[in-house]
Copies of this chain bind each other. A is one copy, B any other.
Amino acid sequence: MTHKKQVGLAPGTLVYTGPERHHDISLTLIDYRGEHFDERTIAPDDASAALLAGEATSWLDISGIHDVALVDTLGGHLDLHKLVLEDIVHPSQRPKLDVYDDASLYIVVRMLSVESGAGSGRNAADLRIASEQISLILTRTGVISFQELPGDVFEPVRNRLRAGKGIIRNEGSDYLAYALLDTVVDHYFHVIEYVGDRIDALEADVLARPTTETLARINRYKREVLGLRKSVWPLREVLSGLDRTDSGLISERTKTYLRDVYDHTIQVVDMLETYRDLLAGLTDLYMSTVSLKMNEVMQVLTIVGSIFIPLTFVAGIYGMNFDFMPELHWKYGYFMAWGLMATITAGLFFFFRRKKWI
* CB 8 Å contact bits of A1-34 with B (1 = contact, 0 = none): 1111111111111000000000000000000000
Residues of B within 8 A of A299 (CB): 297
User: For the complex, is A165 an interface residue (Cβ under 8 Å from B)?
Assistant: yes
Q: Are B270 and A10 in contact (CB under 8 A)?
A: no
User: For the complex, is A212 an interface residue (Cβ under 8 Å from B)?
Assistant: yes
Q: Are B318 and A313 in contact (CB under 8 A)?
A: no
* Beta-carbon nearest neighbor of A98 in chain B: B259
Q: Are A227 and B274 in contact (CB under 8 A)?
A: yes
Give CA–CA (A2, B3) in the complex, Å: 32
User: For the complex, is A100 an interface residue (Cβ under 8 Å from B)?
Assistant: yes
Give CA–CA (A324, B336) in the complex, Å: 11
User: For the complex, is A94 an interface residue (Cβ under 8 Å from B)?
Assistant: yes
Given A7-B190, A154-B8, A294-B291, also A304-B309 (CB < 8 A): yes
User: For the complex, is A323 an interface residue (Cβ under 8 Å from B)?
Assistant: yes
Q: A interface, by DSSP: helix, strand, loop or mixed?
A: helix
Q: Are A320 and B321 in contact (CB under 8 A)?
A: yes
Q: Are B334 and A325 in contact (CB under 8 A)?
A: yes
Give CA–CA (A96, B313) in the complex, Å: 74
Give CA–CA (A290, B222) in the complex, Å: 21
Give CA–CA (A333, B190) in the complex, Å: 71
What are 6 sample pairs from A and B whose C-beta atoms fall under 8 A apart? Answer: A5-B189, A222-B277, A304-B305, A305-B305, A308-B312, A321-B325
Given A274-B223, A290-B291, also A304-B310 (CB < 8 A): yes
Q: Are A301 and B292 in contact (CB under 8 A)?
A: no
Q: Are A297 and B302 in contact (CB under 8 A)?
A: yes
Given A270-B230, A333-B323, also A309-B310 (CB < 8 A): no
* Beta-carbon nearest neighbor of A325 in chain B: B334
User: For the complex, is A226 an interface residue (Cβ under 8 Å from B)?
Assistant: yes
Q: Are A92 and B267 in contact (CB under 8 A)?
A: yes
Q: Are B288 and A212 in contact (CB under 8 A)?
A: yes
* Minimum CB–CB distance for A244 against chain B, Å: 16
> For window 214-234 of chain A, which residues contact chain B by CB distance below 8 Å?
215-216, 219, 222-223, 226-227, 230
Given A277-B226, A313-B308, also A288-B287 (CB < 8 A): yes
Residues of B within 8 A of A267 (CB): 1, 3, 92-94
Give which listed residue, B1, B96, B316, B355, contacts A263 with CB less than 8 A. B96
Give CA–CA (A186, B9) in the complex, Å: 9
User: Which of A35-43, A59-67, A136-144, A278-286 touches B?
Assistant: A278-286
Give which listed residue, B219, B227, B270, contacts A284 with CB less than 8 A. B219
Give CA–CA (A259, B98) in the complex, Å: 9
Residues of B within 8 A of A308 (CB): 309-310, 312-313
